[in-house]
Amino acid sequence: MSSRITMPPGAPSHAAGESPWRSLRPGEVAAFVSLEAVAEEVHLWALPLAESDDEGAAETLLSADERDRAARFRFARDRRRFSLGRAGLRRLLGIYLDRDPAALDFAYGPAGKPELAGSAEASGLRFNLSNSADWALLAVARGRQLGVDLEGIPEGRDLMAIARRFFAAEEVTAFEGFAADQRAEAFCAIWTRKEALLKAFGAGLSLPLDGFCVSADPAAPARLLSTAFRPAEAARWSLADIALAPPLAGAFRAALAIEGPPPHYRCFRLAP
């Protein structure tokens, strides 16, 4: 299945060029989210991970395991990004579930994909978090597995060599057809589409990137074209590019993969 993600029925319309992303401060979030809402649509959250006065408070929300993981990062910048991302995840899930964010428990799949555990598991809430540089992107739905990927558009790298190493043969052929000045955008489109699917599958790198094929044109709808491992999987998933708002637009690309038909969505940016 393929999709250009669209706004849900009843959502405000937007003029051409106007961003559909709504900026919310933490105290405003509860008015816009609920378990019932994400049973019908996907919520996407852009979370800033730059230096913040909130870092100390964020760390108090983390579990002992998360604090240990943060401490293993070599650079303070990476520790900060991890801590703020996990705290933002906990805060938002806590609002959806009406629970203490610090008390949420997570279980991890064979490839490390987190899911809610304990009493919150029965909610059916599904989520996936991706981060790139000073931003994280969180996708939230209910009752459907999903994956999201956010990547900075690469510069100054031998993208052709990477494509030939990791992409499926059909993707490499399509990628070779792009002009040199189009390849960074095309590479990032293919990569984010594939990573979103891997995260939705819950397979991580245990599933080779060349084991399935996605559409390559960044200007055309995202599609899962085929899978080598289970051909029926191609009909199970919807894949879509996410139109980002400034300051992410133009510097990043993002993609969403989700079980079932293409979703309606709402986009939010969490303001400091």
Alpha helices in the chain (DSSP H): 37-40, 55-61, 64-71, 76-97, 159-166, 169-176, 183-201, 233-236
Task: Tell the burial category of 202 from Cβ atoms under 10 Å away from its Cβ (0-12, 13-18, 19+).
Answer: middle
200 has a pLDDT exceeding 60: yes
Q: When comparing pLDDT for 155 and 184, which is higher?
A: 184
120-142 residue pLDDT tens:
999 999 999 999 999 999 999 99
62 has a pLDDT exceeding 60: yes
218-272 residue pLDDT tens:
999 999 999 988 788 888 999 999 999 989 999 999 999 999 999 899 999 988 7
Question: What mean pLDDT comes out for the span 3-31?
Answer: 59
Q: What is the pTM of this model?
A: 0.91
Q: What is the pLDDT of residue 205?
A: 65
Return the percentage of the chain with pLDDT > 90, whole number: 78
pLDDT band at 85 (very low <50, low <70, confident <90, very high): very high
Question: What mean pLDDT comes out for the span 69-79?
Answer: 95
Compute the mean pLDDT over every residue in the chain, rounded to the nearest whole number.
90
- Contacts with 268 (C-beta within 8 Å, 6 or more apart), sequence order: 21, 22, 23, 24, 29, 32, 43, 44, 45, 46
Of the candidate ranges 47-56, 97-106, 261-270, the one whose mean pLDDT is the lowest: 47-56
Q: What is the pLDDT of residue 52?
A: 79
152-183 residue pLDDT tens:
999 878 999 999 999 999 999 999 999 999 99
11 has a pLDDT exceeding 50: no
